[in-house]
Structure 1
Amino acid sequence: MSQIKAGIIGATGYAGVELIRILLGHPDVTISAISSVSFEGKALSEVYPSMYQLCDMVLTDEDTVIERSDVIFASLPHGLCEKLAGKAVEKGKKFIDLGADFRLAEEADYQEWYGLSYNDKELHQKSCYCIPELHRERINNRISIIGNPGCYPTSIALGLAPVVRSGLADLSTLVIDSKSGVTGAGRGLSQTTHYPDCNEAFSPYKTACHRHTPEIEQTLSELSGEKVRVTFVPHLLPVNRGIVSTIYLTLNEAADPEQIRSLYEKAYQDEKFVRVLKDGSTANLRNVKYSNYCDISLHFDLRTNRLIIVSAIDNMVKGAAGQAIQNMNLLFGLPEGTGLGMAPPAF
């Protein structure tokens, strides 16, 4: 097939430049245009010197990106992508939103957690939310827009999917404790991510009120066939990238460790990017950095009949840009792992 022309809106954000880093190595993609409101008219390599002689493209405007591209990746704050997606669809283009505008099926949830409404409800009928390992069958010729999942929900859904589907867990006991690197907060400056405040510090934030909560509950409810509510507490780690989610739940009395491990191994045996670790190993963000892998380790507290799941991803790759490219591959009928074969560093 001919080269896919990919454009990136919001190319100077962390997820935007990560898209460029990965797409530069994609054999079937040419980066056609990139945009940035803050740096329009500058070369990307002026903003990110690491891109010198790799991507010296000049940052343009959003309409130019849409016009020149077959697929548009948008890495923007919530509330900005619905209008852009509409423009892209009108021109017969595909649109992948790395923000929140197309993640939630219920507009009421979007209104409650993001304070906005869906202005073009018909447009949402042309979209789907897709964690590829769980939802790839949703992508068909009708789909023009993909709501790329959030980083926390990705680590949590992949960590929980096999046991949630099995019916072997008491889902009312779910407690999710996640830790993310500072890039998860985006490139914009804030007091919380200011170096003196986050270095050598560690604390929860947005306790029990993080905006990823409805997305997590939406996916788990679909997997289980019942309404699921979770206790979700994110924490800020003083590292650049990575997420570790530690998930606690009580098992039904009939469940045993061997049965649970078998569930996970069967569920992910054919999944390139999910690695179920051996007994005695623990998922570690160091072992997934710069890659599209999700590592999952299983731990059993036999005294309390609780399962403890540890799930680790790179929030900028599997939690954002890598998963978006995985979804693009599905949209265009390419092998799902094309361009995503990056191995994690050894240290």
Structure 2
Amino acid sequence: MGNRQTVVGAFVLGGIILALGAIILFGQINPFSRVVRAVVVLQGSASGLSIGAPVTFRGVPVGSVSDIELTFDRRTFTAYIPVTLVLDPRRVHSTDKREIIGVNEFVRRGLRAEVNIQSLVTGQAAIELSFDPSTPAVLHPGLSKYPEIPVRQSIMQRTQQTLEQLPLQEMANNINRSLESIRILADKLDEDTPALIASAQQTSNQSRVLVDTATKTLETLQTQLTTTLSAFNTMANAATTQLNGRGADLHKLLLSTNTAVVQTQQMVTELRNFTAARSDQRADIDATLRDLAAAAASMRGFASEIEREPQLLLMGRQP
């Protein structure tokens, strides 16, 4: 009988030891260390959040979830989900080796909590702590005996809220109208494109023929222009040669004529000296001198014009 009681007592004691070990191991509780408890009150869904879920501060593990409850406000029939957190002070150190200030002081400095999805495959969630003084501290006094850490919306929640505020139906209608317009335009293009391609091909062929004709015409004009320019150069050279030769002959003729006029004038002057002032011969001589002077002046003028414009010998004066 005594042996049986001893065995039963040992079995019970072993069960208690195993239970304590399981609580310490899986509940992350150290009976020889001080823990800090806090509460986070959720008003949305706690899907994916379970007891034992990690609590991190900017990715650093600082505790775990120890309890999840559901509380109703009978006056407003509003559901609240208090989530109790167990924080390990040994995970947090101070630069001046002093004791870390309490949860309430951290909250006043901007400590906030949010629910983040750890894995999209499993859907498991965790509590993430961070400082965000810009988020208002919304507290729920009376829901828990532990200090409360205000909640802010997570990135997923903010994204979901933004998507819910989008006019999705209107956007879908606009997209459908746009797709219908594109379809109508595509059908129209399918009908008109062959005709446009044929017209473009015909225009291209006509343009090519026009370009070929213009090219041949330009080549012909270039050949004719080259021939004309060559002939004009030849004529100009010949005219220049003739003008140069005739200019030299004319110059000699003018010199001879001028010499003859001078000699004649000298001779008439000598005759005048031997003729009486009132005789008929004197009158004839005076007339002859005047004619010779006029002829000399005309010859000098003509010689000057020829020297300035030799082409007068070929073309004459233009009317």
TM-score (norm 2): 0.21
> Which structure has more helix as a fraction of its residues?
2
Identify the structure with bigger relative contact order (alpha carbons < 8 Å, sequence gap 6+).
1
- Compare CA radii of gyration and give the structure with the larger one: 2
TM-score (norm 1): 0.20
